[in-house]
Amino acid sequence: MIKLILSDLDNTLAWAGEHIVTPHARAAIHAAQAAGVHFAPATGRAPSALGWMFDDDEACLATVLADNGQLIYVDGKLVHEVPLDLEVLRRCARTLDGMDDAWLVVDYVDTGEQYAVGAPVDYLEKHRAPYFFAVTGSVDEVPDRPTVKANVRVVGDFERGHEVRAALKDACPEFDFVFPIQERPHIDILPAGWDKGVAGEWLARNLGITNDEVCCFGDAENDLPLFTRFKNSVAVANATPVAAKAAHWHIGRADEDAVADAILDIARSTQAGKMPSFMRD
């Protein structure tokens, strides 16, 4: 039986463009919780970005893997945190020096502030939508202030994004660099060896749940660590080809609330002592 659900948000539980978890999806989560199944968003987003997505439904956000699992919340309390090394972040910024289409953005999840390192203010304004829409402003260098979240905004296509990522990998092997969304080549920065999959295993272990009792949903590259660690991995129909190939199970599209339907299936099946119908060969 399934005892823990880990779900990506953008283009998985919530459709891109709207980014709203529907009332149907929230009701499905409540049904799963009532059946004794834990639910946790497993997202690259910061905790401050989740409330409005769930219409401030606190029950849905009791347990969360935020910032690609660098922040883990259980029962509304932060129980594990994996910060980014500031000196390596500064090396990332130096690696981007001379590139006029890629900028490091550091994010402070406690205040919601975001700063683009070295980006001219007029450049930020010119490209505010869709690349820098939530950025507070620009700073000359990475501040001497702890952070768990940073990414690189590439103003271009994914081909250019892969070039920038290759340069960052060479210069900063202490970090991993992943594309979290399908719409733009934003590159999330993670401590090497820490990702959604590692965080999911940490959470399951601390909840007394085995890996085969976990079901995970996703659509993109930063969901691959979930798919490789949990056999009950599920890709939505709008997933990237790589994510779809990595998943064991497949359901409908995010804009059809397919994950919500699957969560309801899990709730009913767990109550009956069975595996969900979409997981039966």
**Using 50, 70 and 90 to split pLDDT, how confident is the model at 204?**
very high
| pTM assigned to the model | 0.93
Q: Which amino acid is at 25?
A: A
Q: Residue length, the chain?
A: 281
Domains of the chain: 4-81+194-279 (3.40.50.1000), 86-191 (3.30.1240.10)
Output helix, strand, coil percentages for the chain, rounded to the nearest 5.
40, 25, 40
**8 A C-beta contact, residue 37 and residue 264:** no
Distance separating alpha carbons of residues 31 and 51, to the nearest angstrom: 19
**8 A C-beta contact, residue 49 and residue 93:** no
Query: Over the stretch 121-150, which tens digit does the pLDDT of each residue have?
Result: 999 999 999 999 999 999 999 999 999 999
Half-sphere exposure of 26 (CA within 13 A, CB side): 17
**8 A C-beta contact, residue 190 and residue 224:** no
Residue 49 confidence (pLDDT): 87
Distance separating alpha carbons of residues 74 and 63, to the nearest angstrom: 4
Query: Over the stretch 58-80, which tens digit does the pLDDT of each residue have?
Result: 999 999 999 999 999 999 999 99
